[in-house]
C-alpha cells in the first residue's frame, strides 16, 4: 500500500501542481495525499450507496457540520495512520506538519454542528444507512483574532488547497425557486469513512450557483456590475454560515439559506424514491426518515408537501399524512431566542406558496385540537402561525412523528416545563437521546498516547467501536504503576499543548500547573464571565496573601463570540484584560496564568481536550441542553467542574459525584427562587463580589471607551443578573478550593481522572446513533459486503 500511495501522490502532484514530492509545499502534499487516498475508497463508497438504496435510509438535515480536518481522522478510520506516517517519514516529511497544513472545515458554530459531524462518523462506523445534507459554505463561521484584547473577525476560507475530500456531482444538480430568482443547487459529496469497515457513508453539501453566471449582453453594453449580478446573488446564499441577521436583508438571506438547503435535499430524496419505487408515495416512510437537526431545516416539512401536491398532484391531506410519517425533530435548546419564529412577510417575500402551505397545516392542526376539546385560549399556545410569525418548533412538533431532547435533564425540562402542553398532547412523540461523541476523533486520533495505553491494557482495539469496554479498566484503579503511566501521558499532552500555545499565542505555560480549561461557544448562559470574575477574585486574594496555599493554575479559555453579540464580545475583552493584568504581574510569581486562545476550532480542540486537568462546565442550571465538550474532557481523563446541568448530570451519575466538582443552584432551586432573586443583595453583602464587579466600572480595566464593561456591570446589577452569576459565586469559590485540595494529593487526583475515563463509555455517539436508528428511524445496520 505504501508504494501505491507514493506513486499516486507523485501523479497527483504532477497533474495538479506540476511539481515533484521534493519540491511540493506542505499544502500540496496534503492535497495530493488526500486525493491518493480518495482513489483507494471510491469502489467501497459506490458499493455502500448501492447496498443502502435497497432498504430504508435516514437523512440528517442540518444547517451546520463542524467537521474539522479530514486527513488524520480518515487515516485512523482506514487503519492507515501508522503506515502513511512511515511513508512520509521515508520522504523526510513530518505527518503532523501535513495535518497542520489542512484548513478546518469550520462549517458550524458549536455543539450542534459538531454533534452532526460525530453522528456522521458513528453512522459509518456502525454501518447505519444515514446520509447527511447541509450547505457547502464558501466561508466557515469566521476566523477570530484579538486586537488590543477585542475580538476581530475575518473570512474563514477553508478551501485554500481546494477540497480533495469531496466530489462535485454536476449531473445531480437540482433547481431551487424563490419568488425573485431561480438558482442551481450543486451537490458536493464527502465520503464519511467507517472505522474498521468497508462502509462509506455520504455527506452531501449543496453549493448555490446562478443558472447563468454571466450576462454577456449586459457586459458588452458596459454594464459590468449587472453582468455578474445574478452570480453574486446566488453565491451569497452559500457564501457564509449564519450571516448577521440584525437587519432585514440579513434575515432574508438566512431564510433563503434554510429554504435552499431543504428544497434541494427534499428534491434529492424524492428523486431517489421515484427512481427506485416509482411515483408511489404512500410508502415514502417505509424507505425514508428525515431527521431535522433543530429548527433551521423545518421548512423541509412544507417543502415536501409542496412537491407532492404541486409536482405530483397529490391531495393536500394525503401529502400531510405522508409528511407525518417521515419527519422527526431534535430540539437542542430551551432558550426562547433559539426556537425560530419567522416573520410571515419575509416568507411571503421569498416563497409565498410555502406560506400558503404552512397556513393550511395550521388550519388542519387547529381543527384537530378542537376535536380533542381544547379551548380557544389553549389552542393559541399551540398555533403554528400566530401574531404575524410562523413558529418553526411548533410546526416540527405538530407534524413530526418523534421529538427528542439531547440529555435526560433537558428532555425532562421539555416534558415537564417548556413543552409540557405539547407533551400532554403527544406523549408518545417525546423521547430522550443523550448526545455522544465519536471515540475515533476525540481519543484515538487526538490522544494517540492514551489510546495505545488503553489498547495495551485491554489487549486489543475493539474498544474504539465499543466504548463501554473502558469500564473494564476500573480493575486497574488501585495499581500505582498504571496510574503513574496514565498521569505521565496527561503530562505529555500538557507539554505538547504548552509548546503549541507558546508558538501560536506567545504565552509560556507551566505544564506542571493545573490546566483548568473552559472551551465552548461564547454565550452569557455558558458563564465565561463567572469564570473570569472568579479568576480576578483569586488574583486579588493572592495579592493580599502571598502565602495563599494553592497549586500553580493555568486558566485556559477558547470561544468565539458571534459578531453581532455585543455582550459576548465584551466578555472576550474583559477576560483578555484580566489575563494581561495577571500575566504581567511578577509579584504573584506566575502562580496563576490566564490565556484566551485565538480562533478556537476543532483542530485546536484536539490539542486542548487531552491536556485538560479540569473540565469547566458552568452554565446556569437548566440552560444547557446537553453539551458534548464535557464528554470529550471526560473521555480524556478530566474531572468535571460544573453545575448539575445538561449531560453533566449523567456524567456525574456515571463516574460518581466524589470524582467531580459540582457547585451552584439546581434547576429546582432556581425554579423556587424565580421572581425573588435580587442580585444587588449579593453585590452589597459580599466584599469579594463587589470588588470584582466594581472593577468593570472603576477604571481597573480599559474597554477603549466603548461602554462594554459598563454594560456587563449593568447586566449583573441593574438588569438583575439573569444567569445567576452572583448567586453561584461563593459556591464556585468553594468548589475551586476543593479542586486545589484534591490536586495536592497526586494519587487521589489520578484516581479521579482515571475513574472519569473508565466511565465515559456511555457517551459514545455510536450508542446515540444506534438509539436513533432503532427507536426513531426504524432502520437496520447494513454491512457493505461487496
Is the alpha carbon torsion for 238, 243, 248, 251 positive or negative? positive
Closest CA to 24 of 37, 6, 43: 6
pLDDT digits (tens, 9 = 90+) for 458-500: 999 999 999 999 999 999 999 999 999 999 999 999 999 999 9
pLDDT of residue 221: 77
What's the pTM?
0.96
pLDDT of residue 309: 98
Return the number of other C-beta atoms located less than 10 Å from residue 420's C-beta. 12
41 pLDDT above the threshold of 70? yes
* Phi, psi (deg, nearest 5) at residue 678: -125, 100
223 pLDDT above the threshold of 90? no
**CB burial class (10 A; 0-12, 13-18, 19+) of residue 480?**
exposed
**Residue 154: pLDDT band by 50, 70, 90 thresholds?**
very high
Task: Give ∠ CA 609-614-618 in degrees, rounded to 5.
Answer: 100
Identify the residue with better confidence: 750 or 217.
750
In this prediction, residues 498-509 reach a mean pLDDT of: 97
- Helices and strands, counts by H and E, the chain: 34, 23
pLDDT of residue 398: 98
- Are the CB atoms for 617 and 629 separated by under 8 Å? yes
**CB burial class (10 A; 0-12, 13-18, 19+) of residue 516?**
buried
End-to-end alpha carbon distance in the chain: 20
Please state, in angstroms and rounded to a whole number, the distance separating the CA atoms of residues 283 and 137. Answer: 34
* Cα Rg of the chain (Å, integer): 27
The fraction of the chain above a pLDDT of 90, given in percent, is 92
Return the number of other C-beta atoms located less than 10 Å from residue 89's C-beta. 11
pLDDT digits (tens, 9 = 90+) for 521-544: 999 999 999 999 999 999 999 999
Q: How far is CA 221 from CA 73, 214, 215, 360, 477, in A?
A: 51, 13, 10, 47, 79
In this prediction, residues 505-511 reach a mean pLDDT of: 96
pLDDT of residue 219: 74
pLDDT digits (tens, 9 = 90+) for 430-462: 999 999 999 999 999 999 999 999 999 999 999
Return the number of other C-beta atoms located less than 10 Å from residue 749's C-beta. 22
Q: How far is CA 438 from CA 104, 195, 602, 637, in A?
A: 17, 11, 13, 16
224 pLDDT above the threshold of 70? no
- Are the CB atoms for 633 and 609 separated by under 8 Å? yes
- Are the CB atoms for 131 and 645 separated by under 8 Å? no
Which residues, 6+ apart, have CB-to-CB distance to 599 below 8 Å?
A: 143, 144, 145, 560
162 pLDDT above the threshold of 90? no
Q: Catalytic site residues?
A: 332, 520-521, 526, 628, 632
Identify the residue with better confidence: 697 or 546.
697
C-alpha cell at 291: 431527521
Where in 104-213 does DSSP place strands (E)? Answer: 105-107, 130-135, 143-147, 150-154, 167-168, 174-177, 182-193, 200-210
In this prediction, residues 669-680 reach a mean pLDDT of: 94
Which residues, 6+ apart, have CB-to-CB distance to 694 below 8 Å?
A: 700
In this prediction, residues 28-50 reach a mean pLDDT of: 97
Please state, in angstroms and rounded to a whole number, the distance separating the CA atoms of residues 757 and 655. Answer: 8
Please state, in angstroms and rounded to a whole number, the distance separating the CA atoms of residues 21 and 23. Answer: 5
Average pLDDT, rounded, for the chain: 96
C-alpha cell at 623: 440552560
Please state, in angstroms and rounded to a whole number, the distance separating the CA atoms of residues 588 and 535. Answer: 13
Which residues, 6+ apart, have CB-to-CB distance to 373 below 8 Å?
A: none
278 pLDDT above the threshold of 90? yes
Please name each of the domains of the chain with its CATH number. Answer: 57-69+110-434 (3.40.50.2000), 439-665+723-769 (3.40.50.2000)
pLDDT digits (tens, 9 = 90+) for 372-391: 999 999 999 999 999 999 99
Return the number of other C-beta atoms located less than 10 Å from residue 143's C-beta. 20
In this prediction, residues 612-637 reach a mean pLDDT of: 97
DSSP 67: E
Amino acid at each position: 500500500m505504501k508504494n501505491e500511495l507514493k506513486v499516486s501522490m507523485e501523479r497527483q502532484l504532477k497533474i495538479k501542481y506540476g511539481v515533484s514530492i521534493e519540491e511540493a509545499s506542505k499544502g500540496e502534499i496534503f492535497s495530493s495525499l488526500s486525493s491518493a487516498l480518495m482513489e483507494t475508497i471510491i469502489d467501497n463508497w459506490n458499493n455502500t450507496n448501492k447496498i443502502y438504496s435497497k432498504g430504508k435510509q435516514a437523512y440528517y438535515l442540518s444547517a451546520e457540520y463542524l467537521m474539522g480536518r479530514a486527513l488524520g481522522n480518515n487515516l485512523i478510520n482506514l487503519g492507515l495512520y501508522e503506515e502513511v506516517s512511515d511513508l512520509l517519514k521515508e520522504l523526510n516529511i513530518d505527518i503532523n506538519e501535513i495535518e497542520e497544513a489542512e484548513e478546518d472545515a469550520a462549517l458550524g458554530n458549536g455543539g450542534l454542528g459538531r454533534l452532526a459531524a460525530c453522528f456522521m462518523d458513528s453512522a459509518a462506523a456502525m454501518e447505519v444507512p444515514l446520509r447527511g445534507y447541509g450547505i457547502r459554505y464558501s466561508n466557515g463561521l469566521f476566523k477570530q483574532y484579538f486586537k488590543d484584547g477585542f475580538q476581530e473577525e475575518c473570512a474563514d476560507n477553508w478551501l485554500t488547497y481546494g477540497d480533495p475530500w469531496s466530489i462535485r456531482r454536476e449531473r445531480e444538480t437540482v433547481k431551487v425557486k424563490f419568488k425573485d430568482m431561480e438558482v442551481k443547487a450543486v451537490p458536493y459529496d464527502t465520503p464519511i469513512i467507517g472505522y474498521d469497515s468497508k462502509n462509506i457513508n455520504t455527506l452531501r453539501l449543496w453549493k448555490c450557483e446562478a443558472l447563468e453566471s454571466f450576462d454577456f449582453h449586459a457586459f458588452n453594453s458596459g454594464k459590468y456590475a449587472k453582468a455578474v449580478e445574478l452570480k453574486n446573488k446566488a453565491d451569497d446564499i452559500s457564501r457564509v454560515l449564519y450571516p448577521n441577521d440584525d437587519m432585514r436583508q440579513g434575515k432574508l438571506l438566512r431564510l433563503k439559506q434554510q429554504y435552499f438547503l431543504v428544497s434541494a435535499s427534499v428534491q434529492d430524496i424524492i428523486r431517489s424514491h421515484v427512481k427506485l419505487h416509482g411515483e408511489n408515495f404512500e410508502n415514502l416512510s417505509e424507505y425514508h426518515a428525515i431527521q431535522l437537526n433543530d429548527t433551521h431545516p423545518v421548512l423541509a416539512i412544507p417543502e415536501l408537501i409542496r412537491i407532492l401536491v404541486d409536482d405530483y398532484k397529490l391531495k393536500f391531506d394525503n401529502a400531510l399524512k405522508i409528511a407525518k410519517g417521515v419527519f422527526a425533530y431534535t430540539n437542542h435548546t430551551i432558550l426562547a431566542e433559539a426556537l425560530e419564529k419567522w416573520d410571515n412577510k419575509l416568507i411571503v417575500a421569498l416563497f409565498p406558496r410555502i406560506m400558503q402551505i404552512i397556513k393550511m397545516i395550521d388550519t388542519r392542526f387547529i381543527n384537530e385540537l378542537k376535536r380533542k376539546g381544547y379551548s380557544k385560549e389553549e389552542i393559541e399556545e399551540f398555533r403554528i402561525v400566530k401574531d404575524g410569525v410562523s413558529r418553526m418548533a411548533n410546526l416540527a412538533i405538530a407534524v413530526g412523528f418523534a421529538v427528542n431532547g439531547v440529555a435526560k435533564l433537558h428532555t425532562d425540562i421539555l416534558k415537564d416545563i417548556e413543552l409540557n402542553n405539547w407533551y400532554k398532547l403527544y406523549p408518545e412523540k417525546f423521547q430522550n437521546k443523550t448526545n455522544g461523541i465519536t471515540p475515533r476523533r476525540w481519543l484515538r486520533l487526538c490522544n494517540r498516547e492514551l489510546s495505545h495505553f488503553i489498547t495495551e491494557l485491554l489487549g486489543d482495539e475493539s474498544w474504539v467501536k465499543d466504548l463501554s469496554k473502558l469500564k473494564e479498566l476500573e480493575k486497574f484503579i488501585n495499581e500505582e504503576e498504571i496510574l503513574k503511566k496514565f498521569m505521565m501521558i496527561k503530562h505529555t499532552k500538557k507539554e505538547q499543548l504548552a509548546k503549541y500555545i507558546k508558538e501560536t499565542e506567545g504565552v509560556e505555560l507551566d505544564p506542571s500547573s493545573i490546566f483548568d480549561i473552559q472551551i465552548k461557544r461564547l454565550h452569557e448562559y455558558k458563564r465565561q464571565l463567572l469564570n473570569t470574575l472568579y479568576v480576578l477574585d483569586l488574583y486579588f486574594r493572592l495579592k493580599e496573601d502571598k502565602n495563599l496555599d494553592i497549586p500553580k493554575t493555568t486558566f485556559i479559555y477558547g470561544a468565539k463570540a458571534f459578531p453581532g453579540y455585543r455582550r459576548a464580545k465584551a466578555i472576550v475583552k474583559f477576560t483578555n484584560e484580566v489575563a494581561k493584568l495577571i500575566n504581567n504581574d511578577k509579584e504573584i510569581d506566575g502562580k496563576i496564568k490566564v490565556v484566551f486562545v485565538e480562533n478556537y476550532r476543532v483542530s485546536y480542540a484536539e490539542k486542548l481536550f487531552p491536556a485538560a486537568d479540569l473540565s469547566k462546565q458552568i452554565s446556569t442550571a437548566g440552560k444547557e441542553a446537553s453539551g458534548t465538550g464535557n464528554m470529550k474532557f471526560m473521555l480524556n481523563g478530566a474531572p468535571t467542574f460544573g453545575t448539575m446541568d445538561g449531560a453533566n448530570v449523567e456524567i456525574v451519575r456515571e463516574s460518581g459525584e466524589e470524582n467531580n466538582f459540582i457547585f451552584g443552584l439546581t434547576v429546582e432551586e432556581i425554579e423556587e427562587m424565580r421572581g425573588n432573586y435580587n442580585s444587588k443583595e449579593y453585590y452589597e453583602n459580599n466584599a469579594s463580589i463587589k470588588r470584582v464587579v466594581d472593577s468593570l466600572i472603576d477604571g481597573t480595566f480599559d474597554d477603549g471607551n466603548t461602554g462594554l464593561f459598563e454594560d456587563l456591570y449593568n447586566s449583573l446589577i441593574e438588569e438583575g443578573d439573569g444567569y445567576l452569576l452572583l448567586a453561584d459565586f461563593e459556591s464556585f469559590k468553594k468548589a475551586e478550593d476543593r479542586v486545589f485540595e484534591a490536586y495536592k494529593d497526586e494519587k487521589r487526583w489520578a484516581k479521579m481522572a482515571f475513574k472519569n475515563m473508565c466511565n465515559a463509555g456511555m457517551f459514545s455517539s455510536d450508542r446515540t446513533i444506534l438509539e436513533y436508528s432503532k427507536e426513531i428511524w426504524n432502520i437496520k445496520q447494513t454491512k457493505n459486503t461487496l
